[in-house]
Structure 1
Amino acid sequence: MTSNSLFHFGHRAVMGTLRRLPLPAARFGFRAYHKAMRSLAPDHVARTYFGALMHCDPRDLIQRMILYFGVWEPNVSRTIEQNLAAGDVFVDVGANVGYDTLLAATRVGPTGRVVAIEASPRTFALLQSNLALNTFADNVRAVHAAVSDTAGTLDLYEVDAGNIGAATTLATRGGKRSATVDALPLERILSDDERRRLRLIKMDVEGAEPPILRHILDRLHDYPETMDIIVEASPNDDAIAWQAIFERLRGNGFSAWAIENEYGLDWYLKWRHAPPLRRLDEMPSRQQDLLFTRRQQLDRDGT
């Protein structure tokens, strides 16, 4: 057994033990283990629950959860899994360090395609390094750009040093400008074949989703009827815009389903199984991960 294999074995044993403890003891044990891991190295190679390898810095929120739990946003992960099959195309708008990209790559297989789009230069470099760790990721095309409703450039703002995924093109979120990046509409990024076979878009661009979604809706006839959309909706940024998007999607035959999601340590320690998706008839008033689908009905478990 290699030293790397020994690390992964011991790491799984520690985390498995912590998750079986009562919550107060699990919190205490986790914080001690986290402190030890940070002192060992600033970067660890983690293994996700679906078998991908990823460089993870425990100081970053997303990478920390992947490192310790092997998963990020587990209910979103399950929805992605259940909505992809071999040969499909998945588009990851706001790919971050590549967790959802790698998950999708395992689902669509060598006959499918994943298009991973990330605007931040620093995060895009991390995405590329994670793709290089995984031989099965040959079906991934990484694109360094921001998705927008028009071609041009956009300023990127870093909001939280402890969460690189919080980077946004919205100046109103109060971040520090870190870069100016190329921006393109989605149809300018995708090839004709990728667009024709597109099964699922996952979009998480920290509040910049409404104009992108409006642009997609303006050209909905260019996309397959079977295309679904998973989006992180943040109505606190622009409730009127999100309400209009929600109504347009429903007017175009999409039903809306809430994907429950939390980010705290306690939730990850307690999480065991994804609950069924919950159908929505109204736009939520708070941040919510949503699945929009034109399938007439979902299975009983929301997939």
Structure 2
Amino acid sequence: MTLKKILSPIFNKTVKHLAGHGIGRNKAVGTVFNYLKSSLKEEYVQIDDHIMYLDKQDSLCLSINNIYEKFETDLVKQEIKKGDVVIDIGANIGYYTLIFAKLVGDTGKVFAFEPDPTNFELLRKNIEANGYKNVILEQKALSNKEGKVTLALSKQNTAGHHISSEQQDSKNSIQVDAIIADNYFKNFERKINFVKMDVEGAESIVLGGMTNMLRNNAELKMMVEYNPDAIKNMGLDPASYLELLIRNGFSMMDIDSKNMKITNTDVQSLIRKYHDEYTNLLCVKS
């Protein structure tokens, strides 16, 4: 047995024991944690009957927890059915994409969009490793305009890459292709049932290119992130993003993973509740 195989379970057990104690807020501790996590992780893990190859940093901590966003994971398993059409915007390395592919089955379809080349290659590898033929992969960002956009890269977290606004420092960035969802799905004849979107504050930009899709799918549900800090870093307004969801005919539910409950909410309640924290929202056509 290698030293790595000996140390890895000890590290994982220690991290789980210390979770929730706030020590990760210490910058030095966080640096050590990230180093050990990336050094001790395996190349791949087995999750929910899937093989998942991990990014170098194991940004989703899958080698430690063997699951990501457990409450949200359980929720999408309740919401998505065989034969559904699902769109994964900001697919990263494919954690949710794999779950969606299994849930919709052979008669369903999953479209996964991930603009970062490194993430995309892992996404492709994970889909191929699990033998899914019902997933269409696109190495593109979704936006409200087509062409090249700047993707700012996070050094610590490959799930933290995001479209860069003009006011952001984008030294560590690349140019990627962006497309408009309405154009991409213009001739798609099936109904779209579910959208998952995690684009680090650029949600309203993506929604700006989805007007027809949102209007034409009367039973559409979406799981989207609400991260006010990330939205402000984009030079955008959190309240305007939430109001955009309302204008497009959605009612919003706060996915409270800490207390493991889903509650109806509105713009002002979310503004009051979340300042330096984020949450996920389940949005249902009302």
TM-score range, shorter chain: 0.7 to 0.9
2:253 equivalent to 1:233: no
Q: 2:174 aligns with which of 176, 179, 191?
A: 179
Tell me, yes or no, if the aligned pair for 1:45 and 1:53 is still in contact at 8 Å. Answer: yes
Does 2:124 correspond to 1:125? no
1:277 alignment counterpart: 262
Amino acid at match of 1:148: S
For residues 20 and 214 of structure 1, what CA distance do their matches in structure 2 show?
A: 40
1:54, distance to aligned residue in structure 2 (A): 0.6
- Aligned partner of residue 221 in structure 1, secondary structure: helix
2:214/2:220 contact within 8 Å kept: no
What pairs with 1:161-180 in structure 2 (closer than 5 Å)? 161-171=155-165, 172-180=167-175
- Match of 1:277, SS state, is strand
- Summarize deviations over 1:131-151 as a string: whole Å, max 9, x none: 12102x211110011101111
TM-superposed CA distance for 1:86, in Å, is: 0.1
CA RMSD of aligned residues (A): 3.4
Whether the 8 Å contact between 2:182 and 2:209 is mirrored in structure 1 is: no
Q: Which residue of 2 aligns with 1:147?
A: 142
SS in 2 for 1:150: coil
Structure 1: runs of 5 or more not aligned? 263-273, 296-303
- Describe the superposition over 1:183-233 as per-residue Cα deviations: whole angstroms up to 9, x where unpaired: 11112333644x6321111111111111221332365333x1111111112
Aligned residue number for residue 268 of structure 1: none
CA distance in 2, matches of 1:257, 1:205: 19
Alignment of 1:200-239 (within 5 A): 200-217=194-211, 220-222=214-216, 224-236=217-229, 237-238=231-232
With structure 1 as the length reference, what TM-score do the two structures score?
0.74
Report the equivalent of 2:152. 157
Distance 1:24 1:229, change over 3 A: closer
SS in 2 for 1:86: coil
Deviation at 1:290, TM superposition (A): 1.1
Number of positions where the alignment pairs a residue of Structure 1 with one of Structure 2:
265
Contact map agreement 1:214 1:245 (CA 8 A) in 2: no
Q: Does structure 1 conserve the Cα–Cα contact (< 8 Å) formed by 2:141 and 2:179?
A: yes
Relative to structure 1, the CA distance from residue 47 to residue 230 in structure 2 (aligned partners, 3 Å threshold; closer, same or farther) is same
Between the aligned partners of 1:232 and 1:117, the Cα distance in structure 2 is 16
> Is it true that 1:290 corresponds to 2:281 in the alignment?
yes
- The equivalent position to 1:243 in structure 2, one of 239, 255, 265, is 239
Match for residue 54 of structure 2?
56
Percent identity between the two aligned chains: 26
CA 1:15–1:251: 2 relative to 1, 3 Å: same
Matched residue type, 2:59 = L
The DSSP-based 3-state class of the residue aligned with 2:267 is coil
Deviates more, 1:118-127 or 1:281-290: 281-290
Q: Could you give the per-residue CA deviations for residues 249-301 of structure 1, whole angstroms, max 9, x where no partner exists? A: 32443211112357xxxxxxxxxxx7221211225233321111025xxxxxx
Deviation at 1:56, TM superposition (A): 1.8
Distance 1:176 1:80, change over 3 A: farther
Give the conservation status (yes or no) of the 8 Å contact 2:37–2:58.
no
Gaps of 5+ in 2: 24-31
SS in structure 2 of the partner of residue 174 of structure 1? coil
Q: Distance in 2 between matches of 1:277 and 1:247?
A: 20
Read off the aligned partner of 1:249 and give its amino acid letter: L
Could you state the TM-score of these two structures normalised by the residue count of structure 2?
Answer: 0.78
On the 8 A contact 2:254/2:264 being kept in 1, the answer is: yes
